[in-house]
């Protein structure tokens, strides 16, 4: 392992995580939040400073750059996203570094009742002596995916400072809005100009992922009949009560995220807002297979129709919008980038692990749009919550893996 990477990665990750760049699914703009451009402008400055070429901030909010090749080979894209998840507080992140982790419980200065232990999270127990980075207890950390950003920036600086490092032409892309399924603008595949690509947006060391969920978004709108409650007898139709009925009717023991695992999909209510007059409920639908995804959408539509039939004075609509599809459908036709990643991992003594992702990445959309794009490890753990953490040494392995990929692509 190259120890100089560790300190650079710690510096980059802690600086990047302190910048609020949370995305917002309710916003129609692109990027969905202007604060994401604070990260993007910093990356433009840093990429220019290390000598990257063709550094551009596109009008859809993606930063692009080129690392010139030393030898002929395929043009490879490397991607990471700058936004952090909307599911938990990401304002005022205070990253901290626990040097030489001793194997015990990690506590949090801003949340004394919070504790991160190897008993609850066994992967942490494998990191004795590592430098562990967490937040302070009241926010997520944002290693998803600022760890990927830090890894690619560190690898890029190393290659540009070491022109003898063999590599083909590389294209970097730092995207916004990945967490809300809008990270890949339709113009990105052409602007990226890569034969194939990789997202650095995975978890434990060794992960090379080429299968993701397929995903749809469902918006259910329930419009009732509003009237003064004092005169509501026989007249009021409460949208809140109908929303509660819908949630209670959905499968509770077999089709929620907390009751499923492995290759099982789910229907997950993520947001609910409104009042007695009108309620709006947002669901994410997930399955590894197209048929399973379609069946979950059909079930939600059927339940909405049944509740509407039980109360004809209400209006209930269910709008389902495609988000992304399982990248396996395309990658299984040409496993070249997956095989290359496996070989690059083994060249470092890392045994690759390829298991289905119970989620999605920018690579899902890119692959569907014609740029094969598996997902690779960064080390991030417990993402989207206050117990998020990452090992700096895992990030260093991911940086070495990125460099190994560039060498392996020339063989």
Write the DSSP assignment of 9-73 as a string of letters.
HHHHHHHHHTS--B--TT--SSSSSTTHHHHHHHHHHHHHHHT-EEEEE-TTS-EEEEE--SS--
Our separate counts of H helices and E strands in the chain read 11, 16
Query: What does the DSSP 8-state code read for residue 350?
Result: P
- Is 211 part of any known ligand binding site? no
Burial letters 268-299, b for 16+ CB under 10 A, else e: bbeeeebebbbbebbbbbbbbeeebbeebbeb
Burial class (CB in 10 A: 0-12, 13-18, 19+), 18: middle
- Is 119 part of any known ligand binding site? no
Point out the catalytic residue in the list 8, 46, 83, 388: 83
Rounded-to-integer distance, Cα 318 and Cα 216, Å:
12
- Is 185 part of any known ligand binding site? no
Whether 218 contacts 96, CB under 8 Å: no
Burial letters 159-197, b for 16+ CB under 10 A, else e: bbeeeeebbbbbbbbbbbbbbbbbbbbeebbeebebbbb
Rounded-to-integer distance, Cα 153 and Cα 229, Å:
60
Rounded-to-integer distance, Cα 402 and Cα 395, Å:
11
Q: How far out from the chain centre does Cα 132 lie? A: 21
Q: How far out from the chain centre does Cα 11 lie? A: 22
* Angle at CA of residue 358, ends 357 and 362, nearest 5°: 60
**How many CB atoms are located within 10 Å of the residue 394 CB?**
26
Point out the catalytic residue in the list 178, 216, 287, 394: 178
**Active site includes 178?**
yes
- Is 384 part of any known ligand binding site? yes
316 three-state secondary structure: strand
115 three-state secondary structure: strand
Rounded-to-integer distance, Cα 5 and Cα 392, Å:
9
User: Residue 133, by phi and psi: left (phi above 0), alpha (psi -120 to 50) or beta?
Assistant: beta
- Is 165 part of any known ligand binding site? no
Element holding 242 (H helix, E strand): helix 239-249
**Which parts are annotated binding residues?**
81, 144, 179, 201, 384
Residues annotated as part of the active site: 83, 178
**Which parts are annotated binding residues for Zn(2+)?**
81, 144, 179, 201, 384
């Amino acid at each position: 392992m190259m120890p100089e990477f560790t300190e650079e990665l710690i510096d980059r990750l802690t600086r990047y995580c302190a910048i609020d760049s949370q995305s917002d699914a309710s916003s129609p703009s692109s990027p969905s939040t202007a604060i994401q451009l604070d990260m993007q402008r910093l990356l433009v400055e840093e990429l220019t400073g290390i000598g990257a070429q063709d550094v551009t901030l596109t009008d859809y909010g993606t930063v692009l750059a080129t690392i010139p090749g030393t030898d002929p080979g395929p043009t490879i894209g490397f991607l990471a996203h700058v936004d952090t998840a909307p599911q938990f507080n990401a304002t005022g992140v205070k990253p901290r570094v626990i040097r030489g982790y001793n194997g015990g419980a990690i506590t949090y200065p801003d949340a004394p009742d919070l504790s991160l232990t190897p008993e609850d999270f066994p992967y942490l127990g494998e990191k004795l002596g590592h430098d562990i980075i967490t937040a302070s207890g009241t926010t997520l950390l944002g290693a998803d995916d600022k760890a990927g950003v830090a890894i690619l920036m560190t690898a890029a600086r190393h290659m540009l400072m070491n022109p003898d490092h063999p590599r083909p032409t590389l294209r970097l892309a730092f995207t916004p809005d990945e967490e809300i399924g809008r990270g890949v603008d339709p113009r990105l595949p052409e602007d990226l100009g890569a034969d194939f690509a990789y997202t650095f947006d995975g978890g434990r060391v060794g992960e090379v992922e080429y299968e993701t969920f397929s995903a749809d978004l469902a918006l259910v709108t329930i419009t009732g009949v509003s009237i003064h409650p004092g005169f509501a007898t026989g007249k009021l139709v409460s949208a809140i009560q109908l929303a509660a009925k819908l949630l209670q009717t959905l499968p509770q023991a077999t089709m929620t995220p907390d009751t499923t695992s492995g290759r099982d999909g789910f229907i997950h209510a993520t947001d609910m807002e409104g009042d007695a007059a009108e309620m709006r409920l947002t669901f994410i639908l997930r399955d590894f297979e197209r048929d399973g995804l379609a069946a979950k959408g059909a079930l939600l539509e059927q339940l909405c129709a049944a509740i509407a039939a039980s109360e004809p004075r209400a209006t209930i609509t269910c709008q389902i919008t495609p988000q992304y599809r399982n990248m396996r459908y395309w990658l299984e036709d040409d496993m070249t980038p997956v095989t290359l990643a496996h070989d690059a991992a083994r060249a470092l003594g890392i045994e690759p692990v390829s298991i289905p992702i119970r989620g999605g990445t920018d690579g899902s959309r890119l692959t569907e749009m014609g740029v094969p794009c598996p997902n690779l490890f960064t080390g991030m753990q417990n993402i989207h919550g206050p117990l998020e953490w990452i090992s700096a040494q895992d990030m260093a392995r991911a940086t070495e893996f990125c460099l190994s990929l560039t060498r392996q692509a020339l063989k």
